[in-house]
Structure 1
Amino acid sequence: MIDFTSTQIETWIGAFFWPFLRVLAMLAAAPVFGATQMPIQLRVGLAVLVAVALAPALPTMPPVQLGSSLGWTLVVQQLLVGGVIGMAMTIVLSTVQLAGSVIGLQMGLGFSTLFDPVQGVQVTSLASFLNLLALLLFVSLNGHLLLLAVLARSFTLIPVGPALGLGPSTWHTLALEGSALFSLGLALAAPVLGVLIIANLGLAVLSKLAPQLNLFAIGFPLFFALGFLALYLLMPVMQTVVRHLVEVGLDLSTRLLLQGGAR
């Protein structure tokens, strides 16, 4: 008769369960996978497949009773670590949507809002378009695979153990990077905003020279045409921009994990 100890059973279950939690948290917060329109069943199923694929290559998981206080501590740890990895990339790619929102408002498209299925909020139509374009480029550049590579490395940087790993300094760094990425979004929108500012100055001069002109009838189509012309000229460099953002997101995720693992 073959007997199994409770420690052996807990080790076998933990070898799959702890990676599954971390992968599931990452998918829930990551771009594309964390979209509100993605079914929960699909997300859970994908997390199961990724966890099964990663489990043999990961360090040995500690035998922990799932219902114990230590077990609940490890559950919180996996959810926090996976959430930080996905959230870092989501915040970085959100700079494109921020740039689209600023450009849309300056073009006079503030009244044209759509429900963004990715973020689950109301945004301008231009911001929604640029956000979807960024996500498409993110997938085409294999950003999702690189994110999984960072996730696999996280088990070495922050192994499954009693310590939570992520302290207040990690979240403070994430907040500081989010504020810095706000300026990056404005920098991305700067070329289009420059064209629109010049157009505004031209209309201001025109209004002084010919006060009888209807600036509203002239300004809206002018801003609309110039804004889309500037975006058309900006499109060829979008792949380079998104590639840089993916590199920034991966670097941010790694730095957060290193900071958490150093505690």
Structure 2
Amino acid sequence: MIHFTSLQLEHWIGLVFWPFVRVLALLSTAPVFSATQVPVQVRVGLALLISVAIAPALPAMPAVHFLSGEGVVLLIQQLLIGFGLGFAITLIFSVIQFSGSVISLQMGLGFSSFFDPVTGVQVPTLSNFLNLLVLLLFMGMNGQLLVLATLMRSFTLLPVSANLSLNPSTWHLLVSEGAVIFSLGLAISTPVLGTLILVNIALGILGKLAPQLNIFVIGFPLLLGLGLLAIYIFMPAMQMLVEHLLSMSMTFAGKAMLTAAQP
């Protein structure tokens, strides 16, 4: 008859449970996996499947009681690592969404908004369109596989250990890198914004030269049409842009892990 103790049972469960917590936290914030169309049951099942698949290749799990103080600290630690990696990778969509919001505001489409399935919030129509386009390019470049590869690398750089202490400067890095969203978002929207600014200047001069003209009637369709034309001209560069943002996201995630692993 087979006999085993409660400590052995906890150790066997821990081989899957501790990776499962980190994987689930990542899937809850990473692109594609965190979409609102993905049911919670599917996300949890996928996290469990990934955890069982990678468990034999991971370093030894710590022998920690789940309900002990160390167990609670270890649980919070895995959640923070997963959420941090997800935030770093989501940078690519945050940049595009901000850029689309700025362009929409200048084109006069700021009042028009739809539910974005990627972020789960109400965003301007143009941001929604650009997010879906970037999502397709992201999946076409196997971005979801790069997310899982980054996850596997995290278990090497940041193993599940009760003695692991995350460097506090990691959180400062995540916050400071958030400034990239605004700088890159404005840089991406600059070609379209430049066109719209020139149109506004021309409309202002026209309004001074011919006060009898209704600038609002002329300006709105003109801004909308030229804005869409500028976006159409900019579209061929989207693939190169997404490749650059994806590379930046992966580099940022790796930098965050290396910083967290420093004593």
Shorter-chain TM-score: which interval?
Answer: over 0.9
Are the equivalent residues in 2 in contact too, given 1:73–1:164 (CA < 8 A)?
no
User: Please, which moves more after superposition, 99-108 or 162-171?
Assistant: 162-171
Tell me the residue number matched to 1:195. Answer: 195
Are the equivalent residues in 1 in contact too, given 2:150–2:254 (CA < 8 A)?
yes
The residue correspondences of 1:210-225 to structure 2 (distance < 5 A) are: 210-225=210-225
Tell me the residue number matched to 1:114. Answer: 114
CA offset digits 1:199-250 (Å, max 9, x no partner)? 1111122122222111111111111111000111111111111111111111
CA offset digits 1:70-91 (Å, max 9, x no partner)? 1111111111111111111113
Are the equivalent residues in 2 in contact too, given 1:21–1:79 (CA < 8 A)?
yes
Counterparts in 2 of 1:189 and 1:175: CA distance versus 1, 3 Å: same
TM-score by length of 1: 0.95
Are the equivalent residues in 2 in contact too, given 1:93–1:246 (CA < 8 A)?
no
Aligned length: 263
Structure 2 residue 127 is the aligned partner of structure 1 residue 127: yes
The one-letter code sitting in structure 1 at the alignment partner of 2:20 is: F
Tell me the residue number matched to 1:38. Answer: 38
Structure 2 residue 234 is the aligned partner of structure 1 residue 234: yes
In 2, the alpha carbon distance for the partners of 1:50 and 1:73 equals 23
Identical-pair percentage: 58
SS at match of 2:178: helix
The residue correspondences of 1:87-236 to structure 2 (distance < 5 A) are: 87-163=87-163, 165-236=165-236
In 2, the alpha carbon distance for the partners of 1:249 and 1:109 equals 29
SS at match of 1:114: strand
Tell me the residue number matched to 1:85. Answer: 85
Unaligned runs of 5+ in 1: none
In 1, the alpha carbon distance for the partners of 2:99 and 2:46 equals 31
Are the equivalent residues in 2 in contact too, given 1:199–1:223 (CA < 8 A)?
yes
The one-letter code sitting in structure 2 at the alignment partner of 1:100 is: G
Tell me the residue number matched to 2:9. Answer: 9
In 2, the alpha carbon distance for the partners of 1:139 and 1:11 equals 37
User: Please, which moves more after superposition, 61-70 or 241-250?
Assistant: 61-70
How far apart are 1:164 and its partner, in Å?
5.3
TM-score by length of 2: 0.95
In 2, the alpha carbon distance for the partners of 1:216 and 1:123 equals 25
In 2, the alpha carbon distance for the partners of 1:92 and 1:137 equals 11
In 2, the alpha carbon distance for the partners of 1:172 and 1:92 equals 19
Are the equivalent residues in 2 in contact too, given 1:158–1:165 (CA < 8 A)?
no
Unaligned runs of 5+ in 2: none
Are the equivalent residues in 2 in contact too, given 1:62–1:160 (CA < 8 A)?
yes
Are the equivalent residues in 2 in contact too, given 1:34–1:118 (CA < 8 A)?
yes
The one-letter code sitting in structure 2 at the alignment partner of 1:258 is: L
